Amino acid sequence: MLQKISTPFAELLGVSYPIIAAPMFLVSNTDIVVAASEAGGIGTFPALNYRPLEKYEQALKEIKSRTKKPIGVNIIVNKSNERQTQDLKIALDNGVELFITSLGSPKTVIEEAHRNGAKVICDVTNLEHAKKVQDLGADGVIAVGTGAGGHAGPISPLVLIPWLKTELQIPVIAAGGIAHGSIVSACLALGADGVSIGTRFIASKEASVDDAYKQAILNSTPEDIVMTTRVSGTPAAVINTPYVQKLGTDLPWAFKILKEHKLTKKYMTPLIHLLGMKALEEAAVKPTWKTVWSAGQSVGLVEEILSVQEIYHQLVQEFEESVTSLNQSMKN
């Protein structure tokens, strides 16, 4: 029988395993969230995966009817997301226990969530932002390092995790390149209180993305992952498909100039983000020559499509085996 993995973050949320099924744009759905939480982890999804608002509220009600375990919602907190206030209210009204914020200031989310007894953890890629959200009252940070899918950070997790752990007083969750239980144990050894895993769950039975996307996860290597600013204007990790190669990984010079100019920046950033979301949406849900598939370097460790429950079982089993192996080697 698998043992619980007890960390301050796991105790904070009351879960058996401090393993978050990360919120992935257009991938995370009600089935993944329910299955992850029922498996002893924490299932999460981006609020913007469900549009219009009525579908979002319906999804939350469905999830809450299928599991009594904690779940999480990801809210983008920059100005390009005009829904953030409504997304937050609906989630709080439906008893969401955890919020993950991205791409902006989490001040309002933290204040409102804490009034409801919910917790807030914030995506960060550096110490400056981590300290800011800690000062705002965040309950933890997700340290997004190199190797992550989507908006990956520039710093190696081998450095980022212990750096943040040394400087902060709140839990640090590791993200980026995690698809095996031995990496979970390595992250905890570095000082992390938990992990956030995305790419591994794209190749799950519950994921409703196109089969070609799942097969691309199985067939790709870490060398097939490239960073591009063409999707959202911010560097994001994607599989280097023929379309991405043709498109290029840098913004067109005109877009770049307008994005950097103080008078046009506030208009261009939301526009680029919107165009990128549409490209990702088309590629995820139907075959298209405009193939833009978000994924991290951990694709190289994903070899089969499993159910979410099987993935959690495998991760925890591998975690236990790696800890036992390390203990034995230390004795020798």
Averaged pLDDT, 260-275: 50
Say what the pTM is: 0.87
Task: Count CB atoms within 10 A of the CB of residue 249.
Answer: 16
pLDDT at 268 (0 to 100): 45
Buried b (16+ CB within 10 A) or exposed e, 32-57: bbbbbbbbbbbbbbbbbbbeeeeebb
Asked if 132 and 140 count as a contact pair (C-beta separation under 8 A), the reply is: no
Mean pLDDT for the chain overall: 88
Query: Pick from 167, 109, 159, 166: which is nearest to 139 by CA?
Result: 109
Tokens describing residue 133 = 């959200």
Instruction: Report pLDDT for 256.
Output: 44
Walk me through the domains of the chain, giving residue ranges and CATH numbers: 8-208+303-331 (3.20.20.70), 211-297 (no CATH)
User: Could you report how far apart the first and last alpha carbons of the chain are, in Å?
Assistant: 27
pLDDT greater than 70 at residue 277: no
Structure tokens that stand for 164 in this block: 């943040």
pLDDT at 178 over 50: yes
Cα distances from 262 to residues 87, 234, 252, 256, 267, in angstroms, run: 29, 17, 18, 12, 10
Q: Are 37 and 67 in contact (CB under 8 A)?
A: yes
Instruction: Give the whole-angstrom CA distance, residue 229 versus residue 65.
Output: 39
pLDDT digits (tens, 9 = 90+) for 23-57: 998 899 999 999 999 999 999 999 999 988 999 99
* CB-CB contact of 281 with 290 (8 Å): no
pLDDT tens digits for range 93-117: 999 999 999 988 999 999 999 999 9
**Which pLDDT band holds residue 132 (cuts at 50, 70, 90)?**
very high
What is the tens place of the pLDDT at every residue in 199-217?
999 999 999 999 999 999 9
Q: What's the angle, vertex CA 238, arms to CA 237 and CA 242, rounded to 5?
A: 145
Cβ contacts of residue 166 below 8 Å, gap of 6+? 191
> Structure tokens of 227?
């960073």
Q: According to the model, what pLDDT value does residue 209 have?
A: 92
Lowest mean per-residue pLDDT among 45-54, 222-231, 287-296 = 287-296
Q: Which amino acid is at 202?
A: I
Report H helices in 116-264.
Answer: 127-135, 157-167, 181-190, 199-202, 211-219, 242-247, 253-260
